[in-house]
Amino acid sequence: MLVFNQKLEMKNLYKIAVLSGLFLMSLNACKKEDFNLTPTNDVTSKEVYNTPEGYKNGLAKLYAGYALTSAQGSDASDIGGLDAGFADFLRLYWTAQELPTDEAICSWGDVGIPELDNSTWAADNVFLRGLYSRSVIHITFINEFLRESTPEKLAERGITGQQATDIQRYRAEGRFLRAFQYWVLMDNFGNPPFVTEADAIGKTPPKQITRPELFKFVESELLAIEADLAEPRANEYGRADKGAAWALLARVYLNAEVYAGTPKFTEAITYSSKVINAGYALKAEYKDLFNYANETNNPELILSINYDGLRGTNFGGTTYLINAAVNPAMDPASFGVPNGGWAGNRSRQNLPALFPDTKGTADKRAMFFGTKATVDEIGTFTDGLAVTKFRNVDAQGKAAPSLNGTFSSVDFPLFRLAEQYLIYGEAVARGGNGGTTAQAITYVNALRTRAYGNTSGNVNSISTNFFIDERARELYWEGHRRTDLVRYGRFTGGNYLWPYKGGDKSGKAIAETRNIYPIPTADLIANPNLVQNPGY
């Protein structure tokens, strides 16, 4: 049985992914990438969910879906047509959220990457299809878990009392994870296919849901499960609780006008305040948020994706974030990956320009390496400052566990308190009710005091536009930038440019329709119920 004490015991996840009965399916370019997939092995749900332990193992599989590419090991992928090295959820999500923005650019020429660097992606982009497919298959697994964890199913299997109560909590966590993945699809693809546990498997292709309808579903799910989730910071490490649900609601409400056409800044203030008042606190040192053992004494962390550099390896996650940002000249050993360093991702000049001192002697959040901030050649790694934010070492610089000196044991923060401070402040600046400008400034200055080590960087006033830059300073390379730029009307159009936006070295306008990504061509072919997003 897998337990979640301290860190997910990744050494057991491969085994559990098979035994859980959540049946890994391959999605290839010619097969529909929908939610109505049937088992491909002979392990039945009756066997898997016959005991309470089986349900916890099933829950572990749902969490493992964020950190692993397959039950078969790091060289295998649940997603057909995509190299296993690219198939980790975080790597795909980060690629979609960061590479097409002003925060990052990649020197590699793998099919699909130059198109994201240059804002010229098409409906067959392999990385966008990978993210779409990863979210789809994760929702498929979750739907199956929810079908098997109803009160009726528990009664059939003789599971009652505290054990049934525990499984009710597992079920709420599953619904949270599904709401998160539907948010990913809503944010990135707008109008995806839609299936829940109420839909029969394999009957008809799923119907498409509109973005405003999906917004209502995500909102309603997060509100409905609140009572069944653990209190903030009371669950086992790596599992969702009320704080995670509130944090996602605050994020969704901040972007509600984009998703559903109606601002909900008051609600964003309400739910960010719930998180802020739930006992979280800022970690003392900013840099320690992104090192090994960042779960230790970390009251800022709300929910993370957990990685194990020895027993649960893949080439995505923080292994990717660290290695792709380091070249041999940067001494990979000092990053805890002595045999790594892939020389791929670095910043475009817009990001370091947001800091008063790129060497970090003022704002310590500026964590860069190199001498040339300007990107003249995409394929030259040293064009653009490297980002040294993530390191597979502890706070004292000691290397963390790492198979072959390549893989990372650093957990990735999906939600942390600092984001909630910034959501509160931006929502206040945008006219939401229930908060005050004075309190928003207090929250901002708490972040800036940590960043500067004193009050020299504190501010006396804020505006809506202040937050797009402050979010970049605090949250860069954490997977927020595309969403932020869309909300501010800067991702498309020509009012804000960065190098190679639109394929031009100086940057140029791109069509407004690129504010959402296309539905992958393979799924359009397989599912006649789907209509492509405008502009593709």
CA 208 to chain centre: 23
Measured distance between the N- and C-terminal CA atoms of the chain, rounded to whole angstroms: 46
Q: State the chain's mean pLDDT as an integer.
A: 91
Q: Which residue has the higher pLDDT, 19 or 51?
A: 51
Can you give the pLDDT at residue 43? 59
Q: Supply the pLDDT for residue 380.
A: 98
Does pLDDT of 24 surpass 80?
A: no
Q: pLDDT tens digit string along 183-238?
A: 999 999 999 999 999 998 777 789 999 999 999 999 999 999 999 999 999 999 99
Q: How many CA atoms lie within 13 A of 14 on its CB side?
A: 15
pLDDT one-digit tens code per residue, 421-468 = 999 999 999 999 999 999 999 999 999 999 999 999 999 999 999 999
Is the model's pLDDT at 7 over the cut of 90?
Answer: no
- pLDDT, mean of residues 360-377: 92
pLDDT attached to residue 73 = 64
| Phi-psi category of residue 160: left, alpha or beta, with phi > 0 → left and psi -120 to 50 → alpha | beta
What is the predicted pLDDT for the residue at 359? 57
The answer to whether the beta carbons of residues 190 and 516 sit under 8 Å apart is yes
At 357, the pLDDT band (50, 70, 90 cuts) reads confident
pLDDT at 458: 95
The per-residue pLDDT for 167 is 98
Q: What is the pLDDT of residue 186?
A: 98
How confident is the model over 94-127, as pLDDT tens digits?
A: 999 999 999 999 999 999 999 999 999 999 999 9
Express each pLDDT in 291-339 by its tens digit.
Answer: 998 888 899 999 999 999 999 899 999 999 999 999 999 999 999 999 9
pLDDT of residue 79: 84
For residue 41, pLDDT beyond 60: no
Q: What pLDDT score was predicted for residue 168?
A: 98
- pTM exceeds cut of 0.85: yes
Band (pLDDT 50/70/90 cuts) for residue 18 is: very low
CB 304 within 8 A of CB 411: yes
Between 66-70, 129-133, 254-258, 466-470, the lowest mean confidence (pLDDT) is in: 66-70
- pLDDT at position 360, please? 54
For 361, the token pair is 């002697």
| 484 torsion bin: left (phi>0), alpha (psi -120 to 50), beta (else) | alpha
Give the model's pLDDT for residue 433.
Answer: 98
Instruction: Name the burial class of residue 128, with classes exposed (0-12), middle (13-18) and buried (19+) by CB atoms within 10 angstroms of its CB.
Output: buried
Q: How far apart are CA 210 and CA 192, in angstroms?
A: 7
As a whole number of angstroms, the distance between CA 170 and CA 493 comes to 44
* Structural domains of the chain sorted by starting position, each given as residue range(s) with its CATH number in brackets: 10-228+518-526 (1.25.40.390)
Q: What is the mean pLDDT of residues 130-146?
A: 96
At residue 138, φ and ψ (nearest 5 deg) are: -65, -45
Give CA–CA dist 523/502, Å, rounded: 26
Range from 84-88, 93-97, 157-161 carrying the lowest mean pLDDT: 84-88
Q: How do strand 386-387 and strand 368-369 relate by DSSP bridges? A: antiparallel
Smallest Cα–Cα separation from 36: which of 202, 209, 204? 202
Band of pLDDT at residue 86, cut at 50, 70 and 90: very high
Kindly indicate the confidence band of residue 22, based on its pLDDT and cuts at 50, 70 and 90.
very low
Question: Is 70 exceeded by the pLDDT of residue 21?
Answer: no
The three-state secondary structure class of 302 is: strand
Q: Distance between CA atoms of 50 and 493, rounded to whole angstroms?
A: 55
pLDDT band at 364 (very low <50, low <70, confident <90, very high): very high
Instruction: Please say if the pLDDT value at position 9 is more than 60.
Output: no
* Average pLDDT over every residue of 241-250: 98
pLDDT value at residue 82 = 86
Q: What is the pLDDT of residues 381-399, one digit of tens each?
A: 999 999 999 999 999 999 9
Q: Note the pLDDT of residue 70.
A: 81
Predicted pLDDT of residue 48: 86
With 80 as the cut, is the pLDDT of residue 367 above it? yes
**What number is the average pLDDT over the span 134-157?**
96
